[in-house]
């Protein structure tokens, strides 16, 4: 029988060889954590390499994503669709083995991990989703959702602030099926971390209400197994502090920062092979080691047994099982299209002057009864973001609920939302003020990169916030979101556009959507049935000079639509040919065919005026250099909203002045 040490050494040699061939990478952590990985993956991890998307698999997150060769080696050895050739192509163009694990590139990679701490945060989301889905669907004697979330992380993840946000929340929620393995090797890029990181990490996590196992020998399988065993039966999340040696086995570079982020070099690799008693050539793994590592047969059996459980569940709870299958497949209810469109059409016939944040809440109230997969929350701003509805139930009070009180944790909340989306069975929405997207920005970026189906609600969308002043008044945030690849952004002008924005967000499966909503009340616009339909195209003609080519086009979004419409009416009365274009979603509009875009914004009409209480520079894309923009070019001020709109030029007088200059 092949020894555990040799099975772990297979990870070490594959990692150091692939990194050496690429002449780039991080060999230290894969070599240091190989023994822990061998115990976890071979003795505990429930997964099926032949079906990486099996819903009841255990989740494994490599939060210290720079050590990606550890994960790629594990996937290859256990039987996933990762070949030796893929390992040889580590960090090369179009390979399945990029420098950091990328969700969607590689079977078995649960999340894109690179920015330290976010994999940990995603894992908290995965654990929340597991517990909530289990509470909603499991029945006595029928546990169809029952799995663990395991995380590898290092000093970098511990130092990043997001680790505090999410681990504090995880402890409060008592997420007992979340188990972290802390690679406590004492080394980072700059050297020994004791010079800048003296935290008592164990005490810190005990204060979070975590179960902590100290002083685990990360190179002793019995010590590792004992720690895992006791962690799997506690009702608290667990932190296993594993003392390891970075680049274990390398004669001169182990235990040093030199091994953290650079290839070991041919001479050191040869010496390491000798020290590990590894006699094979690079990228050659003996058959007996492959046989010991393969999880295909046992993984297939585990999923087969689970399928039998699901069949029995279906016999006892046929309606619940049907809903469960719909949820995990991500399908919308059969009645969705008809019901949602009916709600939108009814809104147009019932005008209301309300803030778009209130319109959003009303939409949630209308949509949520047919969408039980909605799992929402706010970063301690529920009463301001208006993200709760009449049947919202906190999962803190009721594990089968549908609402999460995230506390003041914008970054953590967003990354947790990504984890919930990644788990399956839920459509998460998260919320805060638009200005605080700055705290969450990297998790927003990761949502877009991973193409997560995650709805982000950002209220208090402009200087209209008023007296709270420039620290709370978003200026450049909206443009930044719009310029993020694969983000879809909506800034609706009334309750009808808000409902359409929600519908489009719910129906989007290939990325996140941000809804940018007002604090102040907005007047509902009159529309024809065709105009209501055209909202879904991201931009449309709201007011026009019938039968004639416009001399001027006013473009606006959100609260500034009212200014554009008022100016249109006055200019129309003066005999000018003017068009108003509502452009609530520029990215959706840009995806329309050229004929439609030309029908809304004809190229021959050069006189264009954009009006939006956000950064002005963004709008040159739509007005060109012959047009004009009423927007922000600096930060706001602390004053009532009406005074701010006046001083920054968002008045009918200024709109008319700019419009007449363009018309001349």
- List, for residues 299-340, the tens digit of each pLDDT value: 999 999 999 999 999 999 999 999 999 999 999 999 999 999
Q: What share of the chain has pLDDT > 70, as a percent? A: 100
Closest to 55 measured CA to CA, from 137, 123, 144, 176: 144
Question: For residue 490, what pLDDT is reported?
Answer: 98
Walk across the sheet containing 513-516 and list its strands: 403-405, 374-378, 427-433, 455-459, 513-516, 488-490
Closest to 211 measured CA to CA, from 185, 243, 180, 183: 180
Phi, psi of 278 (to 5 degrees): -100, 115
- The answer to whether 638 touches 470, Cβ cutoff 8 Å, is yes
Question: For residue 547, what pLDDT is reported?
Answer: 80
- The answer to whether 208 touches 171, Cβ cutoff 8 Å, is yes
If DSSP states are collapsed to H, E and C, what string results for 247-299? CCCCCCCCCCHHHCCCCCCHHHHHHHHHHCCCCCCCCCCCHHHHHHHCCHHHH
Distance between alpha carbon 8 and the CA centroid of its chain, in Å?
33
pTM reported for the whole predicted model: 0.98
Residue spans of beta strands (DSSP E) within 500-648: 513-516, 521-522, 540-543, 552-556, 578-582, 608-615, 628-632
Q: Which of 21-35, 414-428, 630-644 has the lowest mean pLDDT?
A: 630-644
Q: Which two tokens stand for residue 600?
A: 């809304």
- List, for residues 271-293, the tens digit of each pLDDT value: 999 999 999 999 999 999 999 99
Question: For residue 483, what pLDDT is reported?
Answer: 97
Range 525-532, long-range pairs (CB < 8 A, 24+ positions): 525/493, 525/494, 525/496, 525/561, 525/565, 525/582, 527/348, 527/496, 529/345, 532/344, 532/345, 532/348, 532/496, 532/500
CA 548/CA 569 separation, integer angstroms: 16
Q: What is the DSSP pairing of strand 354-355 with strand 238-243?
A: unpaired
pLDDT at 1 over 80: no
Decide: helix, strand or coil at residue 243.
strand
- The answer to whether 272 touches 14, Cβ cutoff 8 Å, is no
Q: What is the DSSP string of 179-203?
A: EEEEEE--EETTEEGGGT----HHH
CB neighbours (10 Å) of residue 307? Answer: 12
Tell me the pLDDT band of 465, cut-offs 50, 70 and 90.
confident
Question: For residue 597, what pLDDT is reported?
Answer: 98
Question: For residue 548, what pLDDT is reported?
Answer: 84
- The answer to whether 283 touches 19, Cβ cutoff 8 Å, is no
pLDDT at 664 over 90: no
Phi, psi of 524 (to 5 degrees): -75, 140
Question: For residue 25, what pLDDT is reported?
Answer: 97
Question: For residue 635, what pLDDT is reported?
Answer: 94
CA 572/CA 547 separation, integer angstroms: 14
CB-count exposure of residue 531 (10 Å: 0-12, 13-18, 19+): middle
Average pLDDT, the chain: 97
Question: For residue 73, what pLDDT is reported?
Answer: 98
Question: For residue 659, what pLDDT is reported?
Answer: 97
- The answer to whether 652 touches 563, Cβ cutoff 8 Å, is yes
CA 445/CA 455 separation, integer angstroms: 13
Question: For residue 640, what pLDDT is reported?
Answer: 92
Question: For residue 278, what pLDDT is reported?
Answer: 97
CB within 8 Å of 152: residues ≥ 6 apart: 33, 36, 37, 60, 61, 62, 63, 64, 67, 70, 181, 183
Closest to 532 measured CA to CA, from 346, 312, 324: 346
pLDDT at 466 over 90: no
- The answer to whether 573 touches 600, Cβ cutoff 8 Å, is no
Q: What is the mean pLDDT of residues 553-560?
A: 98
pLDDT at 555 over 90: yes
Beta bridge partners of 191: 188
- List, for residues 563-579, the tens digit of each pLDDT value: 999 999 999 999 999 99
Q: What is the mean pLDDT of residues 502-506?
A: 98
Q: Maximum Cα–Cα distance for the chain, whole Å?
A: 92
- List, for residues 36-66, the tens digit of each pLDDT value: 999 999 999 999 999 999 999 999 999 999 9
Question: For residue 551, what pLDDT is reported?
Answer: 96
Active site residues: 410
CA 184/CA 200 separation, integer angstroms: 12
């Amino acid at each position: 029988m092949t020894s555990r040490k040799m099975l772990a050494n297979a990870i070490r040699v594959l990692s150091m060889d692939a990194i050496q061939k690429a002449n780039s990478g991080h060999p230290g952590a894969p070599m240091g954590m190989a023994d822990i990985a061998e115990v976890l993956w071979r003795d505990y991890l429930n997964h099926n390499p032949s079906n990486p998307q099996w819903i009841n698999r255990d989740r494994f997150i490599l939060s210290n994503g720079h050590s990606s060769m550890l994960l790629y080696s594990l996937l290859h050895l256990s039987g996933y669709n990762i070949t030796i050739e893929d390992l040889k192509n580590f960090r090369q163009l179009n390979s399945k083995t990029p420098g950091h694990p990328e969700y969607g590139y590689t079977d078995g990679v649960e999340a894109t991990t690179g920015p330290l701490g976010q994999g940990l945060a995603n894992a908290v989301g995965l654990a929340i989703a597991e517990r909530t889905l289990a509470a909603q669907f499991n029945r006595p004697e029928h546990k169809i959702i029952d799995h663990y979330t395991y995380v590898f992380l290092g000093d970098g993840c511990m130092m990043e602030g997001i680790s505090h946000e999410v681990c504090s929340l995880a402890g409060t929620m008592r997420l007992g099926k979340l188990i972290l393995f802390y690679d406590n090797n004492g080394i980072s890029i700059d050297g020994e971390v004791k010079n800048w990181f003296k935290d008592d990490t164990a005490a810190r996590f005990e204060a979070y209400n975590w179960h902590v196992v100290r002083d685990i020998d990360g190179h002793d399988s019995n010590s590792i197994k004992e720690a895992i065993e006791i962690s799997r039966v506690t009702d608290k999340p667990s932190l296993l502090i594993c003392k390891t040696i970075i680049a274990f086995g390398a004669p001169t570079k182990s235990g040093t920062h030199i091994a953290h982020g650079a290839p070991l070099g041919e001479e050191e690799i040869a010496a390491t092979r000798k020290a590990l008693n590894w006699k094979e050539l690079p990228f050659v793994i003996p058959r007996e080691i492959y046989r010991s590592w393969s999880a295909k047969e046992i993984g297939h059996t585990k999923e087969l047994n689970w399928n039998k459980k699901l069949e029995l569940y279906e016999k006892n709870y046929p309606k619940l099982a049907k809903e469960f299958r719909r949820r995990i497949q991500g399908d919308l209810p059969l009645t969705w299209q008809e019901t949602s469109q009916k709600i939108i059409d009814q809104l147009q016939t019932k005008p209301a002057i309300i803030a778009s944040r209130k319109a959003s809440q009303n939409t949630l109230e209308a949509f949520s009864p047919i969408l039980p997969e909605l799992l929402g929350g706010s970063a301690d701003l529920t009463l301001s973001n208006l993200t709760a509805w009449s049947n919202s139930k906190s999962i803190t009070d009721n594990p089968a609920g549908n609402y999460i009180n995230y506390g003041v944790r914008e970054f953590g909340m967003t990354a947790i939302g990504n984890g919930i989306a990644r788990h399956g069975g839920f459509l998460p929405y998260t919320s805060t003020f638009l200005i605080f997207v700055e705290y969450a920005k990297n998790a927003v970026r990761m949502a877009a990169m991973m193409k997560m189906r995650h709805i982000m609600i950002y209220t208090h969308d402009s200087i209209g916030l008023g007296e709270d002043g420039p620290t709370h008044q978003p200026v450049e945030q909206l443009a930044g979101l719009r310029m993020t690849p694969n983000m879809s952004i909506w800034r609706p002008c009334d309750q009808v556009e808000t409902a359409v924005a929600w519908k489009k967000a719910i129906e989007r499966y290939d990325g996140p959507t941000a809804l940018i909503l007002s604090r102040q009340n907005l007047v509902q616009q009159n529309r024809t049935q065709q105009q209501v339909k055209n909202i879904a195209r991201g931009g449309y003609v709201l007011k026009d000079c019938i039968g004639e080519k416009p001399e001027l086009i006013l473009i606006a979004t959100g609260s500034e639509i009212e200014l554009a419409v008022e100016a249109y009416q006055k200019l129309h009365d003066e005999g000018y040919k003017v068009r108003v274009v509502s452009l609530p979603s520029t990215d959706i509009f840009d995806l329309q065919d050229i004929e439609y875009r030309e029908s809304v914004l004809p190229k021959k009409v050069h006189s264009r005026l954009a009006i939006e209480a956000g950064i002005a520079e963004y709008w040159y894309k739509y007005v060109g250099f012959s047009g004009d923009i009423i927007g922000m070019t600096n930060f706001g001020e602390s004053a009532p909203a009406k005074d701010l709109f006046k001083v920054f030029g968002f008045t009918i007088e200024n709109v008319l002045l700019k419009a007449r200059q363009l018309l001349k």
